[in-house]
Protein backbone atom coordinates (compact mmCIF):
# COMPACT_ATOMS: atom_id res chain seq x y z
CA UNK A 1 0.00 0.00 0.00
CA UNK A 2 1.24 3.52 -0.82
CA UNK A 3 2.12 5.89 1.98
CA UNK A 4 0.01 9.09 1.58
CA UNK A 5 2.84 11.21 3.02
CA UNK A 6 5.27 9.78 0.46
CA UNK A 7 2.82 10.55 -2.33
CA UNK A 8 2.40 14.17 -1.11
CA UNK A 9 6.18 14.72 -0.90
CA UNK A 10 6.75 13.21 -4.33
CA UNK A 11 4.02 15.26 -5.99
CA UNK A 12 5.93 18.58 -6.16
CA UNK A 13 8.90 16.88 -7.80
CA UNK A 14 6.58 15.27 -10.36
CA UNK A 15 4.97 18.63 -11.09
CA UNK A 16 8.39 20.27 -11.49
CA UNK A 17 9.45 17.59 -13.93
CA UNK A 18 6.31 18.17 -15.98
CA UNK A 19 6.85 21.93 -15.97
CA UNK A 20 10.48 21.46 -16.97
CA UNK A 21 9.50 19.26 -19.89
CA UNK A 22 6.80 21.69 -20.97
CA UNK A 23 9.26 24.61 -20.98
CA UNK A 24 11.77 22.85 -23.27
CA UNK A 25 10.17 22.50 -26.72
CA UNK A 26 12.03 20.58 -29.43
CA UNK A 27 14.79 22.53 -31.15
CA UNK A 28 13.58 23.82 -34.52
CA UNK A 29 15.73 23.05 -37.56
CA UNK A 30 17.88 25.89 -38.87
CA UNK A 31 17.05 27.55 -42.17
CA UNK A 32 18.89 25.77 -44.97
CA UNK A 33 19.93 27.21 -48.34
CA UNK A 34 20.99 24.54 -50.80
CA UNK A 35 22.96 25.41 -53.93
CA UNK A 36 22.47 23.46 -57.13
CA UNK A 37 23.97 24.12 -60.55
CA UNK A 38 22.02 24.39 -63.77
CA UNK A 39 22.56 21.32 -65.88
CA UNK A 40 22.39 18.98 -62.87
CA UNK A 41 19.57 16.49 -62.40
CA UNK A 42 16.55 18.13 -60.67
CA UNK A 43 15.94 14.87 -58.79
CA UNK A 44 19.16 15.47 -56.83
CA UNK A 45 17.22 17.81 -54.54
CA UNK A 46 14.64 15.16 -53.66
CA UNK A 47 16.75 13.47 -50.97
CA UNK A 48 17.14 16.81 -49.17
CA UNK A 49 13.81 18.42 -50.04
CA UNK A 50 12.31 18.07 -46.56
CA UNK A 51 15.22 20.08 -45.14
CA UNK A 52 15.63 22.78 -47.80
CA UNK A 53 14.30 26.28 -47.14
CA UNK A 54 15.68 27.92 -50.29
CA UNK A 55 17.17 26.37 -53.43
CA UNK A 56 19.71 28.74 -55.01
CA UNK A 57 20.25 27.89 -58.67
CA UNK A 58 23.58 28.69 -60.33
CA UNK A 59 22.77 30.54 -62.67
CA UNK A 60 23.63 33.68 -64.58
CA UNK A 61 26.83 35.70 -64.96
CA UNK A 62 27.75 39.15 -66.21
CA UNK A 63 29.11 39.32 -69.73
CA UNK A 64 32.45 41.02 -70.55
CA UNK A 65 32.68 44.74 -71.35
CA UNK A 66 29.39 45.52 -69.60
CA UNK A 67 27.56 43.38 -72.12
CA UNK A 68 24.63 42.30 -69.98
CA UNK A 69 23.91 38.80 -68.69
CA UNK A 70 24.58 35.32 -69.97
CA UNK A 71 21.61 33.39 -71.31
CA UNK A 72 19.78 31.30 -68.75
CA UNK A 73 19.94 27.60 -69.54
CA UNK A 74 16.58 25.84 -69.78
CA UNK A 75 17.84 23.35 -67.19
CA UNK A 76 17.69 26.15 -64.61
CA UNK A 77 13.95 26.42 -65.23
CA UNK A 78 13.63 22.68 -64.69
CA UNK A 79 15.26 23.13 -61.28
CA UNK A 80 12.90 26.03 -60.55
CA UNK A 81 9.82 23.97 -61.45
CA UNK A 82 11.04 20.96 -59.51
CA UNK A 83 11.70 23.08 -56.43
CA UNK A 84 8.24 24.66 -56.58
CA UNK A 85 6.64 21.25 -57.04
CA UNK A 86 8.17 20.32 -53.68
CA UNK A 87 7.07 23.52 -52.00
CA UNK A 88 10.54 25.10 -51.93
CA UNK A 89 11.53 28.70 -52.54
CA UNK A 90 13.97 29.16 -55.42
CA UNK A 91 16.47 31.97 -55.97
CA UNK A 92 18.31 32.67 -59.22
CA UNK A 93 22.03 33.27 -58.77
CA UNK A 94 23.94 35.99 -60.62
CA UNK A 95 27.72 36.10 -60.54
CA UNK A 96 30.95 37.25 -62.16
CA UNK A 97 32.39 33.88 -63.14
CA UNK A 98 34.47 34.09 -66.31
CA UNK A 99 34.50 31.10 -68.62
CA UNK A 100 37.69 32.39 -70.15
CA UNK A 101 39.50 32.61 -66.82
CA UNK A 102 37.68 29.66 -65.27
CA UNK A 103 37.48 31.78 -62.16
CA UNK A 104 35.65 34.78 -60.69
CA UNK A 105 36.71 37.99 -62.42
CA UNK A 106 36.86 41.30 -60.52
CA UNK A 107 37.09 43.31 -63.72
CA UNK A 108 33.96 41.62 -65.06
CA UNK A 109 32.03 42.71 -61.98
CA UNK A 110 33.51 46.22 -61.97
CA UNK A 111 32.79 46.85 -65.66
CA UNK A 112 29.11 46.08 -65.16
CA UNK A 113 28.60 47.73 -61.78
CA UNK A 114 30.44 50.94 -62.70
CA UNK A 115 28.63 51.41 -66.02
CA UNK A 116 25.29 52.98 -65.07
CA UNK A 117 23.33 51.87 -68.19
CA UNK A 118 24.78 48.35 -67.93
CA UNK A 119 23.97 48.11 -64.23
CA UNK A 120 20.44 49.38 -64.79
CA UNK A 121 19.98 46.84 -67.60
CA UNK A 122 21.22 44.00 -65.38
CA UNK A 123 18.82 45.00 -62.61
CA UNK A 124 15.93 45.27 -65.08
CA UNK A 125 16.74 41.93 -66.71
CA UNK A 126 16.94 40.17 -63.36
CA UNK A 127 13.64 41.66 -62.21
CA UNK A 128 12.01 40.58 -65.47
CA UNK A 129 13.28 37.01 -65.08
CA UNK A 130 12.02 36.84 -61.50
CA UNK A 131 8.59 38.16 -62.40
CA UNK A 132 8.16 36.33 -65.71
CA UNK A 133 9.51 32.94 -64.64
CA UNK A 134 8.34 32.91 -61.02
CA UNK A 135 11.63 32.97 -59.11
CA UNK A 136 11.30 33.83 -55.43
CA UNK A 137 14.36 36.03 -55.36
CA UNK A 138 17.96 36.65 -56.43
CA UNK A 139 21.20 35.33 -54.94
CA UNK A 140 24.17 37.66 -55.58
CA UNK A 141 27.46 35.76 -56.04
CA UNK A 142 30.05 38.41 -56.93
CA UNK A 143 33.42 37.16 -55.74
CA UNK A 144 37.04 38.34 -55.64
CA UNK A 145 35.94 41.97 -55.48
CA UNK A 146 38.26 44.90 -54.75
CA UNK A 147 37.76 47.92 -52.47
CA UNK A 148 36.77 50.00 -55.52
CA UNK A 149 33.67 47.79 -55.90
CA UNK A 150 32.13 48.26 -52.44
CA UNK A 151 30.01 51.34 -53.16
CA UNK A 152 29.02 49.96 -56.57
CA UNK A 153 27.87 46.66 -55.06
CA UNK A 154 25.72 48.52 -52.54
CA UNK A 155 24.14 50.55 -55.35
CA UNK A 156 23.45 47.39 -57.36
CA UNK A 157 21.83 45.62 -54.39
CA UNK A 158 19.77 48.70 -53.49
CA UNK A 159 18.51 49.10 -57.05
CA UNK A 160 17.75 45.40 -57.23
CA UNK A 161 15.75 45.60 -54.00
CA UNK A 162 13.69 48.49 -55.39
CA UNK A 163 13.03 46.55 -58.61
CA UNK A 164 12.06 43.29 -56.90
CA UNK A 165 9.98 44.71 -54.06
CA UNK A 166 9.81 43.52 -50.49
CA UNK A 167 8.10 40.21 -51.29
CA UNK A 168 11.14 38.81 -53.15
CA UNK A 169 14.28 37.76 -51.30
CA UNK A 170 17.87 38.82 -51.93
CA UNK A 171 20.78 36.84 -50.55
CA UNK A 172 24.48 37.52 -51.03
CA UNK A 173 27.43 35.14 -50.92
CA UNK A 174 30.49 36.46 -49.08
CA UNK A 175 34.08 35.24 -49.14
CA UNK A 176 35.82 34.80 -45.80
CA UNK A 177 38.02 37.87 -45.42
CA UNK A 178 36.80 39.22 -48.76
CA UNK A 179 37.08 42.86 -49.79
CA UNK A 180 34.87 45.09 -51.88
CA UNK A 181 31.82 44.83 -49.62
CA UNK A 182 30.31 47.54 -47.40
CA UNK A 183 28.50 45.28 -44.96
CA UNK A 184 26.69 47.91 -42.84
CA UNK A 185 25.34 49.56 -46.00
CA UNK A 186 24.04 46.21 -47.30
CA UNK A 187 22.25 45.13 -44.10
CA UNK A 188 19.03 47.09 -44.85
CA UNK A 189 18.61 45.61 -48.35
CA UNK A 190 19.92 42.02 -48.02
CA UNK A 191 17.84 39.27 -46.41
CA UNK A 192 20.55 36.63 -45.94
CA UNK A 193 24.35 36.91 -45.86
CA UNK A 194 25.84 33.53 -46.79
CA UNK A 195 29.42 33.19 -45.56
CA UNK A 196 31.22 30.91 -48.00
CA UNK A 197 33.33 29.26 -45.32
CA UNK A 198 35.09 26.93 -47.72
CA UNK A 199 38.10 26.93 -50.06
CA UNK A 200 40.45 27.69 -47.21
CA UNK A 201 42.79 25.38 -49.14
CA UNK A 202 42.65 23.98 -52.65
CA UNK A 203 44.69 22.65 -55.59
CA UNK A 204 45.84 26.20 -56.38
CA UNK A 205 48.16 25.68 -53.40
CA UNK A 206 51.02 23.21 -53.23
CA UNK A 207 50.36 22.31 -49.59
CA UNK A 208 47.17 20.29 -48.96
CA UNK A 209 44.79 21.24 -46.16
CA UNK A 210 41.16 21.34 -45.02
CA UNK A 211 38.46 22.75 -47.29
CA UNK A 212 37.24 24.88 -44.37
CA UNK A 213 38.56 24.08 -40.90
CA UNK A 214 36.41 24.81 -37.86
CA UNK A 215 38.76 27.40 -36.34
CA UNK A 216 39.05 29.25 -39.67
CA UNK A 217 35.26 29.24 -40.04
CA UNK A 218 34.80 30.44 -36.47
CA UNK A 219 37.09 33.41 -37.12
CA UNK A 220 35.17 34.22 -40.29
CA UNK A 221 31.83 34.14 -38.48
CA UNK A 222 33.09 36.38 -35.67
CA UNK A 223 34.42 38.94 -38.15
CA UNK A 224 31.13 38.99 -40.08
CA UNK A 225 29.06 39.41 -36.93
CA UNK A 226 30.85 42.68 -36.22
CA UNK A 227 28.74 44.21 -39.01
CA UNK A 228 25.79 41.90 -39.70
CA UNK A 229 23.03 40.73 -37.31
CA UNK A 230 23.41 37.02 -36.51
CA UNK A 231 19.88 36.16 -37.63
CA UNK A 232 20.75 37.37 -41.14
CA UNK A 233 23.84 35.17 -41.42
CA UNK A 234 24.02 31.66 -42.86
CA UNK A 235 27.17 29.58 -42.51
CA UNK A 236 28.16 28.18 -45.89
CA UNK A 237 29.49 24.61 -45.73
CA UNK A 238 31.40 22.58 -48.31
CA UNK A 239 29.80 19.44 -49.65
CA UNK A 240 32.86 18.40 -51.67
CA UNK A 241 36.58 17.82 -51.39
CA UNK A 242 39.92 18.41 -53.07
CA UNK A 243 42.78 16.16 -54.03
CA UNK A 244 46.46 16.91 -54.41
CA UNK A 245 48.16 14.30 -56.55
CA UNK A 246 47.72 11.96 -59.51
CA UNK A 247 44.64 10.10 -58.24
CA UNK A 248 42.49 13.08 -57.40
CA UNK A 249 43.94 16.40 -58.49
CA UNK A 250 41.11 18.93 -58.34
CA UNK A 251 37.60 19.02 -56.93
CA UNK A 252 35.92 15.79 -55.87
CA UNK A 253 32.39 14.89 -54.90
CA UNK A 254 31.93 13.33 -51.48
CA UNK A 255 31.04 10.02 -53.12
CA UNK A 256 34.20 10.05 -55.23
CA UNK A 257 36.40 10.89 -52.24
CA UNK A 258 34.89 8.03 -50.26
CA UNK A 259 35.43 5.69 -53.20
CA UNK A 260 39.09 6.64 -53.44
CA UNK A 261 39.72 6.47 -49.70
CA UNK A 262 37.39 4.04 -47.90
CA UNK A 263 39.79 3.91 -44.94
CA UNK A 264 40.01 7.68 -44.41
CA UNK A 265 40.39 9.29 -40.99
CA UNK A 266 38.25 12.06 -39.55
CA UNK A 267 40.32 15.03 -38.36
CA UNK A 268 38.51 16.29 -35.26
CA UNK A 269 40.29 19.64 -35.20
CA UNK A 270 39.41 20.48 -38.79
CA UNK A 271 36.08 18.65 -38.73
CA UNK A 272 36.81 16.99 -42.07
CA UNK A 273 37.94 13.69 -43.57
CA UNK A 274 41.46 13.21 -44.87
CA UNK A 275 43.48 10.42 -46.44
CA UNK A 276 46.78 9.81 -48.22
CA UNK A 277 46.56 7.29 -51.06
CA UNK A 278 49.19 4.77 -52.08
CA UNK A 279 50.46 7.02 -54.89
CA UNK A 280 50.92 9.95 -52.49
CA UNK A 281 47.70 11.76 -53.38
CA UNK A 282 46.30 13.62 -50.35
CA UNK A 283 42.58 14.15 -50.01
CA UNK A 284 40.47 16.40 -47.79
CA UNK A 285 36.68 16.55 -47.91
CA UNK A 286 33.61 17.69 -46.01
CA UNK A 287 30.62 15.35 -45.70
CA UNK A 288 27.43 15.14 -43.63
CA UNK A 289 29.39 14.55 -40.41
CA UNK A 290 31.28 17.76 -41.14
CA UNK A 291 27.98 19.49 -41.93
CA UNK A 292 26.49 18.61 -38.54
CA UNK A 293 29.50 20.15 -36.78
CA UNK A 294 28.87 23.37 -38.73
CA UNK A 295 25.22 23.31 -37.70
CA UNK A 296 26.42 23.21 -34.09
CA UNK A 297 28.75 26.13 -34.82
CA UNK A 298 25.89 28.12 -36.37
CA UNK A 299 23.74 27.48 -33.29
CA UNK A 300 26.58 28.51 -30.97
CA UNK A 301 26.61 31.95 -32.57
CA UNK A 302 22.84 32.22 -33.01
CA UNK A 303 23.04 32.31 -36.79
CA UNK A 304 19.93 32.26 -38.93
CA UNK A 305 20.91 29.15 -40.84
CA UNK A 306 23.41 27.17 -42.87
CA UNK A 307 24.02 26.67 -46.58
CA UNK A 308 25.58 23.87 -48.64
CA UNK A 309 27.65 24.02 -51.80
CA UNK A 310 26.49 21.88 -53.44
CA UNK A 311 23.67 19.35 -53.61
CA UNK A 312 25.01 17.51 -56.63
CA UNK A 313 28.40 16.90 -54.96
CA UNK A 314 27.57 16.50 -51.28
CA UNK A 315 25.63 14.18 -49.02
CA UNK A 316 21.84 14.53 -48.68
CA UNK A 317 20.66 16.66 -45.75
CA UNK A 318 17.67 15.83 -43.54
CA UNK A 319 15.77 17.97 -41.05
CA UNK A 320 17.43 16.00 -38.26
CA UNK A 321 20.83 17.18 -39.53
CA UNK A 322 19.74 20.79 -38.98
CA UNK A 323 18.83 20.42 -35.28
- The strand pairing partners of 192, in sequence order, are 171
What percent of the chain lies above the pLDDT cut of 70?
92
Confidence class of residue 285 from pLDDT cuts 50, 70 and 90?
very high
φ and ψ of 101, to 5 deg = -85, -20
Distance CA 57, CA 175 (A): 18
Q: 63 — alpha (psi -120 to 50), left (phi > 0) or beta?
A: beta
| Mean pLDDT, rounded, for 290-310 | 98
Q: Which of 21-35, 74-88, 212-226, 257-271 has the lowest mean pLDDT?
A: 21-35
pTM, two decimals, is: 0.92
Q: Residue 98 in contact with residue 63, Cβ under 8 Å?
A: no
Residues counted in the chain: 323
Q: Which residues contact 274 (CB under 8 A, 6 or more apart)?
A: 210, 264, 265, 267, 282, 283, 284, 285
pLDDT at 14 over 50: no
Confidence class of residue 13 from pLDDT cuts 50, 70 and 90?
very low
Which has the closest alpha carbon to 62: 105, 101, 106, 108?
A: 108
Which has the closest alpha carbon to 112: 124, 100, 104, 120?
A: 120
Confidence class of residue 18 from pLDDT cuts 50, 70 and 90?
very low
Hey, what domains does the chain have and what are their CATH numbers?
Answer: 26-239+287-322 (3.20.20.80)
pLDDT at 4 over 50: no
The DSSP output letter for 317 is -
- Give the model's pLDDT for residue 6: 41
Q: How far is CA 83 from the centre of its chain?
A: 17
Residues 219-273 have pLDDT tens digits of 999 999 999 999 999 999 999 999 999 987 799 999 999 999 999 999 999 999 9
Amino acid sequence: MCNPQTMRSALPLFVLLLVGCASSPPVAPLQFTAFQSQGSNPAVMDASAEAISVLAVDGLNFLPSAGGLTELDTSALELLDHAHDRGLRAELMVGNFSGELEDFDERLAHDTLSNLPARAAAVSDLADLVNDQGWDGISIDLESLAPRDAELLTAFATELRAALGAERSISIALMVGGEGVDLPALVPVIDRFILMAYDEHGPWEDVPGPIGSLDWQRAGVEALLESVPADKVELGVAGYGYGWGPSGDGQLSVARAEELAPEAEFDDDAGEWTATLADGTELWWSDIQSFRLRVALAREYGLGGVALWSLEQGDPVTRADLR
